[in-house]
Amino acid sequence: MMRVAFQGAPGAYSQAAIWQYLGPQTECLPCETFEELFQRVLKGEATHALLPVENSTTGSVHPSYDLLLKYELVIQREIILRIEHALLGIQGARLEHIRRVTSHPQALAQCEGYIRQHGWEAITAYDTAGAAQELAQSADMQTAVIASEIAAQIYGLQILARSIQDLKENYTRFFLLGTHPAPYTPQAKTTLVFATAHVPGALYRCLGEFATRNLNLTRIESRPDRQHPWHYLFYVDVEGHLADPPMQEALQALQQHTTFLRLLGSYAAAGRNSNP
């Protein structure tokens, strides 16, 4: 049976993604930090970890990419969850009584216009569900939290408003991580990370190995190389599976232009522009 580690308190959006895509029977293991997710799987305390890597509104979750390099877990699946933020208060609270709102910084950023419209003070919290849990314990009539409707059910909070995010098309992308490669699927993506020498055209030549084989890059992200100041690592998502001959040829050729290359996984891709 799957036991999936996720960051946050019960009721976090990661848990909502687990239940929606892996089934409500899936056992969930809350963790305090992203790093703990990796450690729980490597210790055998969880079979998988669900890691948020990108939001369509606020961009990359940078610590996630650093941890993908630090720990040797394999990406087994891509999950895209539509995020619909709810405004939660304690039972009996009313919208006109709210003076402050608390949540994870990304949730606050995704609802910035709504918060500004009401003139509320925004207070950062460690995570959305944790903020909901603290509010339930405090019974503060003047404080609301931005979290999932699942969190409202778990902590007995009242939903004051639904779908309050500034952009209605708001999605978070997750990687399901495990210790072994996923089975082959034709509708796949491959994620890898590489570094190049500091010479003119190095990145151009790397990307050209994919272009000449008609392999579509869906994403490229640069991150500082913590071992070498002012050097950078490039994280790339490519449509196709490692087992496909064009991908094998591209990766073999890529080794000629890189100083470091590591495959992070070939996995089932989610549907484009919406939940799969």
Note the pLDDT of residue 181. Answer: 95
Q: What is the DSSP string of 196-210?
A: E-SSTTHHHHHHHHH
pLDDT of residue 275: 44
CATH number of 3-83+170-178: 3.40.190.10
Establish whether 34 is a catalytic residue: no
> What pLDDT does 51 receive?
98
Q: What is the pLDDT of residue 33?
A: 93
Task: Write down the pLDDT at residue 217.
Answer: 97
Q: 188-268, which class in CATH? A: alpha beta
Boundaries of every domain in the chain? 3-83+170-178, 86-161, 188-268
pLDDT in tens, 209-257: 999 999 999 999 999 988 888 889 999 999 999 999 999 999 999 999 9
Which tokens is 91 given?
């039972």
pLDDT digits (tens, 9 = 90+) for 154-169: 999 999 999 999 988 8
Show the low-confidence residues of the chain (pLDDT under 50): 272-276
Is residue 175 part of the annotated active site? The answer reads no
Query: What pLDDT shows up at residue 126?
Result: 85
Q: 41 is written with which tokens?
A: 């799987």
CATH number corresponding to 86-161: 3.40.190.10
3-83+170-178 and 188-268 in the same fold: no
Given this model, what pLDDT does residue 95 score?
95
Considering the candidates 34, 174, 194, 234, report the single residue annotated as catalytic: 174
**Of 102, 143, 172, 258, which one is the catalytic site residue?**
172
